[in-house]
Chains A and B, each alone.
Chain A
């Protein structure tokens, strides 16, 4: 089925702009609500809206260089966690560099979007967290991955819309800058 043959160009443009607007609003919200100067000043993040196959639908204003890896991050995390184990309102967190394509501090958050009980798409963000208890706050001479900070392969930081207190406590205790990482 080729949707392009069934929709008029104006409808396509309206829908496309709606997705772009959603992604840009995600960027603005992240930047303006952040407690971390590397987000609100440097804008060291990238985010977008993805379809059920984790293909990019719309990207928000951010770092283009991060954009290319988010599709692979979503696929890797969803394979690891299992689609059947994710519920509406869950947000998955991944700092595992082999799946995020960067250092551990570039944390990826993924929110599956459900329509009629099935995963319809994803919103995902990769953003620099100030410190995750690495050897140094920005280590450049590490000799193994465990010196780079806390590794999370795909854990639910939000469960059905509720921020997970246990996980935020683990993060809070494993960063030199808890105020900038957790915010509260």
Chain B
């Protein structure tokens, strides 16, 4: 394969990448394209990833590509072999920069959580080696600044948070549960 053919294959991938980003409504000034080649010495199985940040237009491009491969190879393995290499994969990373999502703060309340305590359950605490009466709370019902005294179970659809006796749980403005010793 010649450098010009290689360049042609990259252009085809870049066209596809740009089309995808256009279709998703990414403005042109928020699009970027990165060329990547994966090479290995002939006879090896695994490749080394080489960023292609140079022109591949003419035959000199293949020499530059091989030199870039050996530079990357040396940085990964500490040596080079100088023997022929295979180009295994060509990739183009088409990046559309989207705006960072805003982090949503939850509604603020007070320290008092007696109103959202919806029951008790006997739970065996394997560290205390005894049954204890745990207060029950729904995580969705908690507000910022709420303080949940242990022993308590804070339940939600995907998990349960245990606040042991001797601990308290404070809800921060993002809804994180921060457990500390009393």
Contacts and interface: CB of A to CB of B under 8 A. Distances in A.
Interface of A: 29, 31-35, 37, 40-41, 179-180, 183-184
Interface residues of B, number: 10
B45, B46, B76 pick with most chain A CB within 10 angstroms: B45
Contacts of B81: 183-184
A34 B45 contact: yes
A32 B72 CA distance: 14
Secondary structure at the B interface, as helix, strand, loop or mixed, is: loop
Closest 5 CB pairs of A and B: A32-B46, A40-B45, A35-B43, A184-B83, A184-B81
Contacts of A34: 44-45
B149 to A, nearest CB: 33
A35 B77 contact: no
B77 A179 contact: no
Contacts of A32: 45-46
Interface string B157-171: 000000000000000
B41 interface: yes
Contacts of A31: 46
15 contacts: A29-B76, A32-B45, A33-B46, A33-B77, A34-B44, A35-B43, A35-B44, A37-B45, A41-B45, A180-B43, A183-B43, A183-B83, A184-B41, A184-B82, A184-B83
Interface of B: 41, 43-46, 76-77, 81-83
A131 to B, nearest CB: 15
B154 to A, nearest CB: 32
A33 B44 contact: yes
B41 A40 contact: no
Contacts of A183: 41, 43-44, 81, 83
A24 to B, nearest CB: 15
A180 B42 CA distance: 11
B77 A29 contact: yes
Given A29-B77, A41-B45, A184-B83, 8 more contacts: A33-B44, A34-B44, A40-B45, A179-B43, A180-B43, A183-B81, A183-B83, A184-B41
A69 B155 CA distance: 53
Nearest to A41: B45
